[in-house]
């Protein structure tokens, strides 16, 4: 009788454990559904591919998270995180002091310079003096918009867009003189047929760690240490086991992790 009771108790524990595992929800990773090559690229079927997508999958695998990508407009990502509609943001979001007032971040998983590109027939540099009298396009609610407003407002007219692609299109059409964004994303545009025809690099902007931050990390809720620690472990693991380098070599000729 005692043996049967023990077996029944063990079975109940296993059943409860199995039920908990079955009911565990995936980690919802928010991203803005817009092309941002080579980080985010939609294939012919509409599925998202690219460097950041592969990095997310690799980090989640190492962290033992079942991750689900959830599309949300860029300016809605942080509100969606704080209201628990998503559990993390992995969408080239720079770590900076302003955002850290509201959310927490994982360790960085890449860090690249911020650059300005402009029309080929205009010679200027990515400085307040160089942009004097110019129209500078930036994506709204980004570190680039914050940087431009702090450093370039007195020199240039700042025009904000919902997506970086809209800024690129207006630059190609001659409706603005320049746009500022991540150097790699802008380089991808410059390598396109449209970009080659219209524009070239005007250089990187001066460093401002308060706004641009030390790199890109995964955004998490301030009280969600389990998700943050799991993502940190996943980022460290792919850096250590070579998976990060393996993925990066498919898209870049250099290590974009930074110092």
- Do 218 and 107 fall within a single domain? yes
Which tokens go with 95? 């770590």
Res 74: pLDDT: 94
- Do 196 and 219 fall within a single domain? no
pLDDT per residue as tens digits for the range 163-178: 999 999 999 999 999 9
Res 7: pLDDT: 39
Q: Which domain holds residue 136?
A: 114-212
Q: Is residue 225 part of a domain?
A: yes
- Do 89 and 39 fall within a single domain? yes
3-state SS string for the chain: CHHHHHHHHHHHHHHHHHHHHHHCCCEEEEECCCCECCCEEECCCCCEECHHHHHHHHHHHHHCCCEEEEECCHHHHHHHHHCCCCCEECCCCECCHHHHCCCEEEEEEECCCEEEEEECCCCCCCCCCCCCCCEEEEECCCHHHHHHHHHCCCCCEEEEECCHHHHHHHHHCCCCCEEEEEHHHHHHHHCCHHHHHHEEEEEECCCCHHHHCCCEEEEECCCCHHHHHHHHHHHHHHHHHCHHHHHHHCCCCCCCCCC
Residues 39, 31: Cα–Cα separation, whole Å: 11
Q: Is residue 100 part of a domain?
A: yes
- Do 123 and 55 fall within a single domain? no
Res 25: pLDDT: 87
- Do 130 and 207 fall within a single domain? yes
Q: Is residue 4 part of a domain?
A: no
pTM of this prediction? 0.77
CB-based contact 195:168 (threshold 8 Å): yes
Res 80: pLDDT: 98
- Do 107 and 120 fall within a single domain? no
Which tokens go with 116? 């300005």
- Do 68 and 134 fall within a single domain? no
Q: Is residue 65 part of a domain?
A: yes
Res 60: pLDDT: 98
- Do 120 and 201 fall within a single domain? yes
C-alpha gyration radius of the chain: 22
Q: Is residue 258 part of a domain?
A: no
CATH of the domain at 57: 3.40.190.10
- Do 141 and 194 fall within a single domain? yes
- Do 186 and 208 fall within a single domain? yes
Res 98: pLDDT: 92
Res 253: pLDDT: 87
- Do 204 and 122 fall within a single domain? yes
Count how many domains the chain has: 2
- The dihedral over CA atoms of 177, 72, 33, 246, expressed in degrees to the nearest 10, equals 110
Q: Is residue 19 part of a domain?
A: no
Residues 125, 130: Cα–Cα separation, whole Å: 5
Res 16: pLDDT: 38
Interacting residues of 152 by C-beta distance below 8 A, sequence separation 6+? 128, 131, 136, 158
CB-based contact 157:136 (threshold 8 Å): yes
Regions of the chain with pLDDT less than 70: 1-23
pLDDT per residue as tens digits for the range 126-152: 999 999 999 999 999 999 999 999 999
Q: Is residue 11 part of a domain?
A: no
- Do 198 and 145 fall within a single domain? yes
Residues 151, 140: Cα–Cα separation, whole Å: 16
Q: Is residue 17 part of a domain?
A: no
């Amino acid at each position: 009788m005692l043996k049967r009771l023990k077996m029944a108790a063990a079975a109940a524990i296993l059943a409860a454990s199995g039920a908990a595992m079955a009911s565990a929800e995936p980690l919802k990773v928010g991203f803005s559904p817009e092309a941002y090559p080579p980080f985010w690229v939609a294939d012919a079927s509409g599925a998202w591919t690219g460097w950041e997508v592969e990095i997310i999958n690799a980090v989640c695998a190492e962290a033992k998270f079942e991750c689900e990508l959830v599309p949300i407009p860029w300016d809605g990502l942080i509100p969606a995180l704080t209201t628990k509609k998503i559990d993390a943001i992995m969408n080239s979001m720079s770590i900076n002091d302003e955002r850290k007032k509201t959310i927490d971040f994982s360790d960085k998983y890449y860090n690249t310079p911020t650059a300005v590109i402009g029309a080929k027939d205009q010679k200027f540099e990515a400085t307040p003096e160089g942009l004097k009298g110019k129209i500078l396009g930036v994506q709204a609610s980004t570190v680039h918009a914050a940087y431009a407003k702090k450093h370039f407002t007195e020199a240039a007219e700042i025009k904000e867009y919902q997506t970086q692609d809209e800024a690129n299109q207006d630059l190609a059409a001659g409706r603005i003189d320049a746009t500022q964004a991540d150097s790699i994303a802008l380089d991808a545009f410059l390598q396109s047929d449209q970009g080659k025809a219209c524009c070239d690099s005007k250089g990187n902007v001066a460093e401002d760690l308060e706004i641009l931050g030390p790199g890109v990390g995964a955004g998490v809720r301030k009280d969600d240490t389990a998700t943050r620690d799991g993502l940190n472990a996943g980022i460290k693991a792919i850096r250590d086991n070579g998976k990060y380098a393996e993925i990066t070599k498919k898209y870049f000729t250099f290590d974009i992790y930074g110092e």
